[in-house]
Structure 1
């Protein structure tokens, strides 16, 4: 499993990609409409329109916007959760050092167990080798 900072960086990268996808969707799939009383929609030739945008029906466009919005909110919440899991201001430097020392002790204990298991394995292999060598054919 990757560390929290890598997960956070991946999530931020994914959020940026989602923003780009959302802007691209809005740019390519919107329909022309006026926003104010003085606005005018310029006439676009059909072949020009196909190159620039491919409008969706209003309901489909709104559904797409809703889905993209939900995805962005979900990713933002995931990022917030990952950030909350990082050691921060609530953990003082002393607390972090204490946690590191405890982890070092756990690592030393695990290494001692590993070395003991290797030693036991070698002893068992040596015993097995002696037993095999002591067997004679009748």
Structure 2
């Protein structure tokens, strides 16, 4: 169980790293397309559009930023590769099938125990309900002491008995 949690942590880390890699790729493409100037790549195809000088970086700054983006991409890709290599080998299908069969058997046993516990609970509930019902029925037949009777010495107890029977 603990080992599976460790694998899940690695998978979560891998998911986070891939998400960061995609973010770096996305921002790199956005930077390269928005901060570069148009360059003529073929003498046969003229440049038809010019970009405002404030909207693109100088060639030396652009090259430095490109190198930084490449470094970030490579570093993140290596982190992803390391996490992929640290994942466990997949379990053979036969072992998975056996493990699932064992879990199924354990689940059936647990379900049977649960059903028995529920049955026992219902039985105990019925017993307690009947016991309470019989006790309440017996209480209604207890004679009430008269507080005004000169033979009653404990007036407070008689008053309490009288009060509970009136309710």
Q: Find the counterpart in structure 1 of residue 37 from structure 2.
A: 31
Pairwise mapping of residues 9-20 of structure 1 onto structure 2 (< 5 A)? 9-20=15-26
Match for residue 67 of structure 2?
66
SS of the equivalent of 1:38 reads coil
Measure, in 2, the Cα distance between the counterparts of 1:68 and 1:16: 12
Please give the root-mean-square deviation of Cα atoms over the aligned residues, in Å. 2.4
Give 2:77's aligned residue.
76
Distance 1:27 1:43, change over 3 A: closer
Residue in 1 aligned with 2:88? 87
Q: Unaligned stretches of 5+ in structure 2?
A: 1-5, 100-167
Cα distance, 1:13 vs. partner? 0.3
- Aligned residue for 1:3, secondary structure, equals helix
- 1:40 maps to which residue? 46
TM-score (normalised: structure 1): 0.57
Give the number of the structure with larger relative contact order, counting CA–CA contacts within 8 Å between residues 6 or more apart: 1
Structure 1 unmatched ranges of 5 or more: 98-138
Aligned length: 89
- Map 1:108-127; keep pairs closer than 5 Å: none
Which string of whole-angstrom CA distances, capped at 9 and with x for unpartnered residues, describes residues 97-127 of structure 1?
A: 8xxxxxxxxxxxxxxxxxxxxxxxxxxxxxx
Rg (Cα) greater in structure: 2
- Residues 43 and 9 of structure 1, relative CA distance in 2, 3 Å threshold: closer
Contact 2:38-2:49 at 8 Å conserved across structures: no
CA distance in 2, matches of 1:70, 1:92: 38
